[in-house]
Amino acid sequence: MDSRNGSKHSSISRIRILSLGNPGVGKSCLIKRYCEKRFVNKYVPTVGIDYGSTTVDVDGRKVSVHFFDTSGSPLFEEVRSEFYRDMQGILLTYDVTDRSSFIALDAWLSELRHNLGSTSDDWGVAVVVCGTRTDTGGSGGGRQVSEGEGRGWADRHHLPHVLTSAALGTGVNQAFHTLFVKALQLKDGMRGSVSGGSTGGSEPREVDPEVVQAIHRLTHAPNDHDKLGLNRRTMSKDEINKSYRRLAALVHPDKCKAPGAEDAFKALTQARNNLLKLLTETTV
């Protein structure tokens, strides 16, 4: 999921968006529809986290948006928990033709509170509730969640609510624009509260050789085990996640400005997802 348009701008803003919701509610379809202006009908479940980015115009402001599209499976809760930190926006989704996905919103908010350390609805990040598949009755025999129910749930938690259809494109731009505007407002507010920041004139710092080495290995290693520096026969879930966290600290594009960091982070995320899936399959 990569739809970068290659735009580079000296005053570009960066925001990170995390998608949440039950498996199969259409999180990936929404993101692809927005970024690539196309609808992917075939359902391919996300394994762990899928990462992609694009540059958009938000009310005349150039913004680099980084999407972290999560798997809704309970198997990947530990993986998801590593990505809540430093997010500016949350896309919380449910399927209007699947009532169980709507009921599960309470559980998703509980997970969100737990990972953000919040005891109320004052999240500190922008959250938009998004109802999907408004274009079809689906295999479940029609719509199971009314617009009033969805909006009422969102209102109780003081959250915006948008109905969408990735197939038709309706509501998609509205949902993401609402999320981006709120995320930027929060980010600007946090930046404005920090005093003493420098406004320029700093010398570019030399890139750490360890970072260069990590980027090269992640983008050139022939297999996932080598990318993470793991032994294929003895690797464990803990070792995979430990290696991931160590390398992510080096090449995460929000912190690392070295050439190739974004591609390296994508390769790292995909390698970790592949290895976790392989472990799951071999232990079943």
- The reply to whether 231 and 185 lie within a common domain is no
The answer to whether position 234 is within a domain reads yes
Q: Does 274 share its domain with 232?
A: yes
Number of domains within the chain: 2
Q: Are residues 182 and 247 in the same domain?
A: no
Q: Does residue 198 sit within a domain?
A: no
Q: Tell me if 3 is assigned to some domain.
A: no
> Among 166, 192, 218, which residue terminates a domain?
192
User: Rounded to a whole number, what is the largest CA-CA distance in the chain?
Assistant: 62
Question: Is residue 103, in this structure, part of any structural domain at all?
Answer: yes
CATH number of the domain where residue 222 is located: 1.10.287.110
Identify whether residues 228 and 156 lie together within a single domain. Answer: no
* Same structural domain, 103 and 140: yes
Whether the model pTM is above 0.75: no
Q: Is residue 54 part of a domain?
A: yes
**Burial of residue 111 (number of CB atoms within 10 Å: 0-12, 13-18, 19+):** middle
Bridge pairing between strands 89-95 and 13-20: parallel
Q: Where among 192, 217, 233 does a domain terminate?
A: 192
Kindly state whether residue 76 falls inside one of the protein's structural domains: yes
Q: Is residue 202 part of a domain?
A: no
Residue 83 shares a structural domain with residue 213: no
Domain limits for position 243: 209-283
CATH number for the domain including 100? 3.40.50.300
Instruction: Provide the residue-wise pLDDT of the chain in tens; the chain has 284 residues.
Output: 544 444 444 478 899 999 999 999 999 999 999 988 888 776 566 666 788 889 999 988 999 999 988 888 887 787 788 788 778 999 999 999 999 999 999 999 999 888 887 766 666 789 999 999 998 754 445 889 999 999 999 999 999 999 999 999 999 999 999 999 999 988 887 655 443 444 344 444 455 767 877 888 888 888 898 888 888 888 888 899 888 988 988 888 877 878 788 888 999 999 999 999 888 877 65
Do residues 224 and 156 share a domain? no
